[in-house]
Chains A and B, each alone.
Chain A
């Protein structure tokens, strides 16, 4: 009974989810005049001109490459530094551990508007402005805390006897961690990577502040489509449709890990 009812809610909700996305796809297939002047349930004709613009203009496709580079870099760095920390939180008790765990999350709580300026000054001072690394490092502020929290949950679900048996069997810590432990929390790494990818991919303000030409992200390119002729809605919508693709691929690959389930240990 109850399951059927939830199914109905889910189905209705998915319609709601898809409606704006349908409208974006719809817009991406029309020209600007049609978009701004007439309502149509279906596009009058299938025109891929807007997509052609994106794939042939380096100003557009470079934006995608830049975004993908710093997002992947950020995901790798975030997961790499979060793994040992999450292990420490899940396995040991140490001075200030509880406070530290919560403090990590406070780094996500800084309202961006004014904080952009010190970020700009900091990255200019160390000569990283307009590099992919700058954005990747800056995005670690909000991704590392989340990665630690999620990974800690997965790690706490692994019984501690596994660690102890490995040491008795003569495993050194690095060998145990890489060969035995990491494969056990594969699902956790996948889920964490998805969340890091997602939050880094959609962030605009920091990414735009720290880049100008060489590492300019796609989202920033999209804010520049306002020209004398008005907004270029069609191209903007086509670019928007294409921004969903990389993330959709990532979620497709981690869907089984999410379906395996996870809990949060420390909270």
Chain B
């Protein structure tokens, strides 16, 4: 498909507005951060060039290693649950009719709630004494308390993320499924293919493009998760739900270490970039 596109360098003019708008708000801040990351900022007009010093410091920081490990486990769990669940949900949404409309509107609701509100709702919703989820769990005799037990806190943040973001995967997968032309299914029926074979050999390959974007979005967004756990658990108890963003903010705002925080941000950015790049190439069309 890509080989069929005619070469036309003037197409750059079409891309120019995007380049200007994105570069303006992305490159300027990025360069500022690079600038900070190699300086020791002592005051508004006082800065000393320190080279790679901050990078050396943060790469040796054991707290950062802990946060990175928690982050990797969390993001892996997010992807492992949300992508398959989103696909199964998409398969369950009817093709048309009011039931399809209803399912789409209801599914999309969590996506439309501002992130701090998501955290606030769950803060009450998961409370053992006054929240629906916590109350029901407690009634079943489960010793559940997300503000005391690290495991409970971690699982609550994960369940909250699944609640919040699986609909995105489901909506995208649903749209991809609807784009598959009917003749593909007819051919499969003639061949007597099983439901699983239809999914494995027709639906899944046709969803590849859309699933790639869903995977990339969930990977980068869950890697940068901040507002929701900040409101729900504040990173605790202890450091159970202190993911990378949370730790970075503590460093940047709490300790006024702008230099190391900037170096940290860049390393953080490069890790996300690397993971996305690997995933992108893994998911790309083999041709």
Does B8 lie within 8 Å of A93, measured CB to CB?
yes
Q: Does B74 contact A (CB under 8 A)?
A: no
Contact across chains for B179 and A262 when beta carbons are under 8 A apart: yes
Chain B residues within 8 Å of A3, by CB: 91-92
Q: Is B237 an interface residue (CB 8 A)?
A: no
Option from A11, A35, A114 in Cβ contact (under 8 Å) with B248: A114
A105 touches B112 (CB 8 A): no
Query: What is the distance, in angstroms, from B73's C-beta to the closest C-beta of chain A?
Result: 18
Give the Cβ gap from B14 to chain A, nearest Cβ, in Å: 4
A95 within 8 A of B: yes
B158 within 8 A of A: no
Report yes or no: A109 in contact with B22, Cβ–Cβ below 8 A.
Answer: no
Q: CA A266 – CA B283 in complex, angstroms? A: 12
Q: Which of A196-255 contact B (CB under 8 A)?
A: 198, 201-205, 218-219, 222-223, 233, 236-237, 239-240, 243-244, 246-248, 251-252, 255
- Which residues of chain A in 145-182 are interfacial with respect to chain B, using CB atoms and an 8 Å cutoff? 145-146, 148-150, 153, 156-157
Within 8 Å by CB of B113, from A22, A37, A97, A240, lies: A240
Contact B17 A84 (CB under 8 A): yes
> In the complex the two chains form, is A248's CB within 8 Å of B210's CB?
no
B63 CB within 8 Å of chain A: no
**B179 in contact with A39 (CB, 8 Å):** no
Interface assignment of B186: CB less than 8 Å from any CB of chain A: no
Distance A89 CA – B206 CA, assembled complex (angstroms): 20
A263→B214 CA distance, assembly (Å) = 12
Given known A141-B25, A258-B104, contact A114–B209 (CB-CB < 8 A): no
Q: Flag whether B184 is at the interface (Cβ < 8 A).
A: no
Q: A10-B93, A267-B208 are in contact. Are A137 and B5 (CB under 8 A)?
A: no
Count of residues in A whose CB is under 8 Å from the partner chain: 108
A118 to chain B, nearest CB (A): 4
Select B130's contact among A36, A87, A104, A153, beta carbons within 8 Å: A36
Nearest CB of chain A from residue B175's CB, rounded to whole Å: 5
What is the CB-to-nearest-CB distance from A240 to chain B, in angstroms, rounded to a whole number? 4
Taking a contact as CB atoms closer than 8 A, the residue among B9, B112, B206, B224 that contacts A201 in the complex is: B112
User: What size tier do the contact residues of chain B reach?
Assistant: 35 or more
Bound Cα distance from A85 to B16, whole angstroms: 8
Name the contact of A39 in the complex, choosing from B88, B130, B277, B284 (C-beta under 8 A): B130
Chain B's nearest CB lies how many Å from the CB of A1? 7
Known: A81-B17, A202-B115. A105 touches B261 (CB 8 A): no
Q: Counting CB contacts under 8 A, is B26 at the interface? A: yes
Asked if B174 is at the interface (CB within 8 A of a chain A CB), the reply is yes
Question: How many angstroms between the C-alpha atoms of A251 and B100 in the bound complex?
Answer: 12
**Inside 8 A of B91's CB, which chain A residues have their CB?**
2-3, 6
Q: Do residues B8 and A10 form an inter-chain contact, with CB atoms below 8 A?
A: no
Indicate if the CB atoms of B92 and A6 lie closer than 8 Å: yes
Q: Are B130 and A248 in contact (CB under 8 A)?
A: no
Flag if A261 contacts B178 (CB, 8 Å). yes
In the complex, residue of chain A having the shortest beta-carbon distance to the beta carbon of B88: A9
Is B96 among interface residues, defined by CB-CB distance under 8 A?
yes
B29 in contact with A119 (CB, 8 Å)? yes
- Given contacts A110-B30, A260-B178, whether A119 and B25 have CB atoms under 8 Å apart is yes
Of residues 206 through 233 on chain B, the ones whose CB sits less than 8 Å from some CB of chain A are 206, 208-210, 212-213, 216-217, 220-221, 224, 226-227
Q: Please tell me which one of the listed residues A9, A255, A260 contacts residue B104 in the complex, with CB atoms under 8 A apart.
A: A255
Give A contacts to B, CB under 8 Å: 1-3, 6-11, 13-14, 16-24, 26-27, 35-39, 77, 80-82, 84-85, 87-89, 91-95, 97, 100, 102, 104-115, 117-119, 121-122, 137-138, 140-141, 144-146, 148-150, 153, 156-157, 191, 198, 201-205, 218-219, 222-223, 233, 236-237, 239-240, 243-244, 246-248, 251-252, 255, 258-267
A13-B89, A252-B101 known; 12 other A-B pairs, CB under 8 Å?
Answer: A21-B109, A84-B17, A93-B7, A107-B22, A109-B220, A111-B248, A144-B21, A153-B210, A204-B115, A255-B105, A262-B175, A265-B209
8 A-B Cβ contacts within 8 A? A10-B93, A17-B167, A26-B132, A94-B12, A118-B29, A146-B217, A149-B213, A219-B117
